[in-house]
Structures are given as C-alpha cells and as structure tokens.
Amino acid sequence: MDNPLDSLCIVMIQTSHPGNIGSAARAMKTMGVNDLRLIQPNKFNSPETSALASGADDILVAAQHFDTLSAAVADCQTVIGTSARSERTVSWPQLAARQCGEFVAEHLPSRKIALVFGRERSGLSNEELEHCHYLAHIPMAKEFFSLNIAAAVQLFCYECRMATQAKPESSSLQPGDRDDIPATSEVMEGFYQHLETTLTDVRYLDPENPRLLMRRMRRLFGRSAPTQNEVSMLRGMLAAFQGRKFQRRSS
C-alpha cells in the first residue's frame, strides 16, 4: 500500500456547522488523509461546506454517511475517540495527540483505524465512548480551552502524518496471515452482545442493575485487541456455557 494513511479514517458525529465539515476536509487533504465518514451532520450540502473545503471537495464527495457510530466504524480494528476533556467515570486508556500519532503510525496499514470527533457543543456521548479503545486529547492552555473541531482534526492528522513519515519503510507492518487479523469493531460488537446475553442468562449480570459491568468488559477486551480467531474461540466458549454451538461465520 503506497500511503499508509489510507487506512486511517476521520469520523465526525452530528457536526452542527457545515463550515466545520468543509474545514475538516481541507485539513485532512493537506495531510494526505482522505477517508471522511459523517454521522447525521446538521447540514451537509451547504455553500459554506464547499467554500471552506477550499479545493478539498473530492473528500466531501467521497464522504460516506452513516446513522450510528457502530455502523461507521464496523470495518475498523481500532477506534480512537478524541475529547476536549480528559477525565471520565471509567477512564479509558488515554493518548496525548503526539502519542496518538505514534500509535497510528505503528499500526498502519495492518489495522484500519478510526479517529472519532464529537459534537461542537457536547463532544461524544458515553454510549459512543464505549465503542472507543482509546481517548486522545490535545493538551490546551488552562486559561482558554476551546479548540475548534476542524483545528483538532488538523492537528491529529498532522501528528499521524509526521509519525508515519518518521517510521522506517521496512518496519511498516503488512496485514498478517489469517490467524493474525485483528477483530473488527463489527466482530467485537457481536461478541459483546453475546457476552451480555450469556452473563444475563447465567445471572451474573442483572439487567435491572447492570452497573458498569459491560463497560468494564469492553475496556478489558478492547485492551487485549483480540484477533478474529480469538473472538471465535471466546464465542465458542460462551455458546458452550449456554449449551449451544457457536456457528463461525465463514469469511
């Protein structure tokens, strides 16, 4: 693959200002990042979008539209949420923007990685955070910590580009053999649903009072980044607990 950044996608959730989508497209194109995914933007085809894209219209035209985050990142193996805040109830593994670039460079192109950007007003919801393996943050001045979303997209794409270029050619990982393929978000979502049902069946999880159990499970399994085969093994195990057989999907 010529450009490892082709395996990186930018996801924007319910962006309010159409101009921000145009500015983000421009920011992406200057850094060689081309895959834009939009989830229910407030307005998309506005003259402001195109004006602020300033020549990066091809990214807007090719942008894919989705209804939910899980659909937008279904084919990705790693999902990195970006947040203006750094503290949360169940803390996610955190990456500073520079570390995020290094992480991305280390894993491209053998993994598909999504960088997710939240709403201008409220950022990412807790439910959306559950789809993320990491949270990345641009440290800001204490006196004024309001960063425009397109500026954040620019900065993350810049860090990813710099780190990717700094990586020696020979160390660039190519997709491994079938046994090594990291599970995609879609496969992991199937596993989490199966896990939740099984834990409910065996009365370990009380649906009336689930507390943070599934969130903690997501964190645990997300951290271990299992391969497709390992997820099949785990699902086989869950099926056995339920006295059923798990039918692997042939892919």
Q: Determine the size of the site formed for ligand SAH (CB under 6 A).
A: 16
Q: How far is the CB of 47 from ligand SAH (least distance, A)?
A: 23
Residues with Cβ < 8 Å from 26, sequence gap 6 or more?
Answer: 52, 53, 54, 55, 56, 150
- Asked if 19 interacts with ligand SAH (CB under 6 A), we say no
Q: Which is nearer to ligand SAH, 63 or 195 (CB)?
A: 63
Span 99-158, contacts to ligand SAH by CB under 6 A: 117-118, 120, 122-124, 137-138, 140, 147, 149, 152
Q: Which is nearer to ligand SAH, 7 or 154 (CB)?
A: 154
Position 146: which residue type? Answer: S
Q: Which is nearer to ligand SAH, 162 or 234 (CB)?
A: 162
Peptide bond into 207 cis (omega under 30): no
Is residue 106 within 8 A of residue 7, CB to CB? The reply is no
Q: How far is the CB of 122 from ligand SAH (least distance, A)?
A: 6
Of 85, 178, 216, 244, the residue at the interface with ligand SAH (CB under 6 A) is 85
Is residue 194 within 8 A of residue 205, CB to CB? The reply is no
Span 59-78, contacts to ligand SAH by CB under 6 A: none
Q: How far is the CB of 132 from ligand SAH (least distance, A)?
A: 11
- Asked if 94 interacts with ligand SAH (CB under 6 A), we say no
Q: Identify the CA nearest to 189 among candidates 38, 79, 64, 66.
A: 79
Place of tokens 């950022």: 123
- Asked if 84 interacts with ligand SAH (CB under 6 A), we say yes
Closest CB to ligand SAH: residue number: 123
- Count CA atoms within 13 Å of residue 35 on its CB side: 18
Angle between helices 185-201 and 228-241 (to 10 degrees): 20
- E strand or H helix that includes residue 169: none
